Structure 1
């Protein structure tokens, strides 16, 4: 059994005294699809941010692909993030760049060769079904299309894990399902997917692993789980 992510006795207290994560222990296998659920303020976003080292634990161990994030020097964080794709609720696209350029940017910052950039960008635009929108700008896209560009950007480096914080939060139900189907396809290609969400319908019908966080603790961890909270 290969564990891609291991958290041992992880705590996170912010400078204002708020304890966001309260002694978490969890293991996530390579190739899993995991929903992270719980009420607002439960610690889901902090949990997600610690995986890509946006936040550091106050105490405890986080190991991703044999790297201990608690001991990782700041200069090595960009190299860690090549293994981790991140998808945000608000897309974070660059408005003056085309779809192609937004995705290519993730490769240009790591000095990828131009001929490789073109091939890789068009490959991921094919996966997210946006090859015909390569020359469009973000303001010419629907919200769902913008989110798929964000997903394409997150997977163009072929990361080992993609983390998504409320990626369907701003989308209508039909569009949200399209985004989830895209994540499922990425997962079927071997990438571990971890998604924080409030979308009960998607969690209940998708039947993937569910980690429920409440009060900074994992209160439930089920294979083929359900959302478990009233909306």
Structure 2
């Protein structure tokens, strides 16, 4: 569960990115975060994994009080969260297997556990046949599937996806969404910032719309609601 109470974010240059955010997301939900460019969507999701820190207000993620979190505690928070980015952020000199395994090596998981779990999640994203490939040998959709495998390999409570279909064609976007839907059905909370109207309208989930730093709409089984 994640809860924000009267959350504000002001950047050092004076830009107010978020103002008075109140929201509660339950375990196991699938939530789209939509809105115009510059509305505050990225800031909203970065606050959840402490890439950014709120200027004012309270953010609680399960047992973590994010406003009181010390720097040394942030890695423990992030073990509970998997993050998927639009530009994949894969390590270019590591194979598919090594990119995913790296996330487990960081938390010092045993080698036997790493091998078993990495192969399990690569099977889940349908990439077992690409274990030895380097990122530049993969299509954009395959790279994003590796990024998803890396995000879920440590069994996080939550996946935060920032425009995960932004660089992908419609068919590949549908494949990525199918995988995210499967992960959600297994009980993982998914929060996804997106500009993809077709994805939002075809897979109806909760929609939180942000404009000028405020939540202006919060609907179950909502629509995208913006012109392209």
TM-score by length of 2: 0.99
1:128 aligns with 2:120: no
- Could you tell me how far apart the structure 1 residues matched to 2:63 and 2:19 are? 23
Q: Gapped runs of 5+ residues in structure 2?
A: none
- Does 2:22 match 1:15? no
Per-residue Cα deviation, 1:17-40 (whole angstroms, up to 9, x for no partner): 000001100000000000000000
Provide the secondary structure at the position in 1 that maps to 2:3: strand
1:73 aligns with 2:73: no
Question: What is residue 211 of structure 2 aligned with on the other side?
Answer: 214
- Report the equivalent of 2:110: 113
1:203 corresponds to 2:200? yes
* Aligned counterpart, 1:44: 41
Cα offset for 1:69? Answer: 0.3
Counterpart in the other structure of 1:148:
145
Q: Distance in 2 between matches of 1:70 and 1:174?
A: 40
CA offset digits 1:125-153 (Å, max 9, x no partner): 01101011111110110000000000000
Distance 2:143 2:180 in 1: 15
User: Which consecutive aligned stretches of 4+ in structure 1 deviate over 2 angstroms post-superposition?
Assistant: none
Superposition RMSD in Å: 0.4
In 2, distance between residues paired with 1:110 and 1:198?
Answer: 33
Gaps of 5+ in 1: none
Total equivalences in the alignment: 228
